Amino acid sequence: MATLAEITALLGEPRFGWSDPAPWIELERELGIAFPTDFRDVVDAYGSIEINGQLYLTHPAGHLLHSLGDSIRGDLELWREEDMAEFLPGPVGPNPGELIPVASATTGEAVFLRVPDDPSSPWRVVVQEFDSPAWTLYEMTFSEWLLAYLKGRDVTLCSSNLAPDGPFYAFLP
């Protein structure tokens, strides 16, 4: 599994540094899941940010415009619509094998975490290209997927053209 230190080495020093677990506990209780530690670590370190002018990550303690909980609730509603079901490899939701929407991109992609079938199995990443019915399952943890993205590898989102001088981030307004 990729580490926060490896992500920080590419993305830069995090400036959010959230340590209060209360917003996570509340969101996880509401959804009936426990997010993977690597995802929580990245989001706690960086907060609600835009990476490479493309990828949006939000924190559960974010303000009204950029709250992970609000984003997930809205996206679950969207992806549960009957005409959207064909665009994903399975249903959205907190049950084993289902998908939780956790990030989005200015280029139209949606990033999901796939809830493992077995609690001891790792979470995986699914990226859906919103402008087509295409999706890709990555046999990677969130931190492995994010590290591959930051290195400019093609993980459906491709950042090398958006960040020719290397990865960068900015806080969401």
The pLDDT, as a whole number, for residue 32 is 96
The pLDDT, as a whole number, for residue 130 is 77
The pLDDT, as a whole number, for residue 157 is 79
Total residues found in the chain within this entry = 173
pLDDT in tens, 132-158: 778 999 999 999 999 999 999 989 876
Q: How does the average pLDDT of the chain come out, rounded?
A: 92
The pLDDT, as a whole number, for residue 140 is 97
Domain boundaries, the chain: 4-151
Helix (H) or strand (E) holding 43: helix 37-46
The dihedrals phi and psi of 49, each to the nearest 5 degrees, come to -135, 165
Q: Considering just the CA atoms, what is the radius of gyration of the chain in Å?
A: 15
The pTM (predicted TM-score) of the whole model is 0.94
4-151 has CATH 3.40.1580.10 classification: yes
pLDDT in tens, 111-131: 999 999 998 999 999 999 877
Position 6 confidence tier, pLDDT thresholds 50, 70, 90: very high
Looking from the CA of 46 toward its CB, the CA atoms found within 13 Å total 27
The pair of structure tokens assigned to 153 is 């590898």
pLDDT at 172 over 80: yes
pLDDT in tens, 56-92: 999 999 776 789 999 999 999 999 987 787 889 999 9
- CA distance linking residue 137 with residue 152, whole number of Å: 18
pLDDT at 159 over 70: no
The pLDDT, as a whole number, for residue 29 is 97
What torsion do the CA atoms of 73, 145, 13, 63 make, to the nearest 10 degrees?
-10
The pLDDT, as a whole number, for residue 2 is 82
